[in-house]
Chains A and B, each alone.
Chain A
Amino acid sequence: MKKLLSVLLVALLIVSFAACGNKDDQTAGNKYGLLEEGVLKVAMEAEYPPMEFKDENGNLTGFDVDMMKAIGEKLGVEIQYVEMEWAGIFMGLTAGNYDAVCSGVSITQARIDEKQMQFSDAYMNNGQYIVVSEGTTNINQPADLAGLKVGVQFQTTADIAAQKYLSDGIQFELISYDSVQQAFLALEGGQVDVVVADATVAIAYVNENNDKFDISNAKLTNEPMAIAVEYGNDELTEALNNALAELAADGTLADLSVKYVDTDLTQDIDMNLVSVE
């Protein structure tokens, strides 16, 4: 039995090391530092309307989807979308599964400090809002969450902020779901009292269901959205920044924002990061 166990453990270790393998040399030489010549593989969690989601026909759509398509045209590369679950999406950058994550990613100080990924220039204003049932008032700051059931999406900045509020001593029940859609479903079913989510998602959701839900006044954080690439891939970051600047200048980003969020959130992006973590 002992022998068997040690064999198993050794096997596990070998697998772990293999999984940690270095792949730095593979990308050298490809234009824009891409994993595959001429193909920009971008990961997104396609349950995040209006940023990325499936339309009624099952086609991938949303702000990020259209923006990446436009970036691909600017750079002359093919965009390949990789659908991923949110928790672990950044791991795929380190693992070399794709070149970038464009999935409503917030820039936060912690993500910058961790040096797992680096960010393009911000393309959209964003922060966290609290979505409540129609008629609920008085929820304007974190302390007002006390005694409530709070829904968030697992491993998002909303989840991280809520954990922080808990450790600060605000007493509430935190329930984290795999997707923000599930958190909203739970709000509809009454399993949670409020949902904390990104501005864009919260606004779009409340606009679609304005008879049922409201958005609170307080913006809890300021964390603009950007495209994440593997830490150290300056070539790709620069290429993305150039494309984003062109798309901002020719009005493409503004048009997309109006199309998907009803309002232009791409102007005067507030880069004064306020995150709770």
Chain B
Amino acid sequence: MNQQQFMAYVEGTMITLQLTFISVILGFILAFFVAVMRMSKNKILKSISWVYVWVIRGTPMFLQILIAYFAVPIIYRNMTGQVLSNWSAFGAGVGALSLNTAAYTSEVIRSGIESIDKGQWEAAQALGMTKAQAMLKVIAPQTLKRLIPPFSNELTTIMKDTSLISTIGITELVKTSKGFAASGAIRFYFFCGAVYLVMTTLTTVFFDKVEKIAGKYE
């Protein structure tokens, strides 16, 4: 591997990491709201979040990416006659990934909260806590710890799925490797795999540690 190729890999890795972390952070924030909507007593909010999770989890992410990048600007143009300016591949990619991971993560958050025994709600309220207090002081801390393993899992999944973004013109790790391997140098595939393994292993190890630390307070 020459210096130019090495730099291309550094750049590709940075793009993969940016796509992953921006999407996962945005996705987590969105997931929180979706989970709250899903558990709310308001039927409309509940239905919206249900449809959202149903559509996103029931269709391939690859298709969602194609729609976000190719279909949205054309629909916009047909409806308004205007070009949707600055519809970037990075933005559409992050959008699709965030919306996707939010659907999965919202279910993780919901099941995390619902897995806490009902008795704890009742006990907290018996002690005179308001609903919000019970949530913040009793339920949320316990939920967070339970969220760590599935969240770590979702993070590594998204990290690998960023490779799908290459189809809309983003040169991340896999596309960098595809380019170098195109003339037969298949070693780049394996090098690419090794870079992913390092990243996913570090993520897993990190969250294992976090889980252990969080576990001390249970």
Contacts and interface: CB of A to CB of B under 8 A. Distances in A.
A201 B197 CA distance: 40
A182 B178 contact: no
Contacts of B77: 188-190
A185 B70 contact: yes
Interface string A8-25: 100010011001100000
B190 interface: yes
A189 B84 contact: yes
Given A177-B168, A191-B69, A114 B183 contact: yes
A7 B167 CA distance: 33
Nearest to B72: A189
Question: Nearest 10 A-B pairs (CB), nearest first?
Answer: A189-B73, A190-B83, A175-B169, A189-B74, A94-B184, A185-B70, A178-B167, A87-B178, A155-B182, A91-B184
A188 B74 contact: yes
A176 to B, nearest CB: 6
Contacts of B87: 189-191
Nearest to B197: A8
B200 interface: no
A154 interface: yes
A114 B182 CA distance: 12
A175 B187 contact: no
Given A189-B84, A190-B87, A16 B175 contact: no
Contact of B186 (A91, A176, A177, A190): A91
B150 interface: no
B89 interface: yes
Interface residues of B, number: 30
A189 B70 contact: yes
A254 interface: no
Given A185-B74, A191-B69, A154 B186 contact: no
A135 interface: no
B178 A88 contact: yes
Contact of B73 (A20, A90, A116, A191): A191
Contacts of A151: 169
Contact of A175 (B89, B190, B193, B197): B89
Contacts of B83: 189-190
A88 B178 CA distance: 7
A182 B65 CA distance: 12
A110 B187 CA distance: 21
A90 B184 contact: yes
A12 B171 contact: no
Nearest to B175: A154
Nearest to A20: B186
Contacts of B197: 8
B10 interface: no
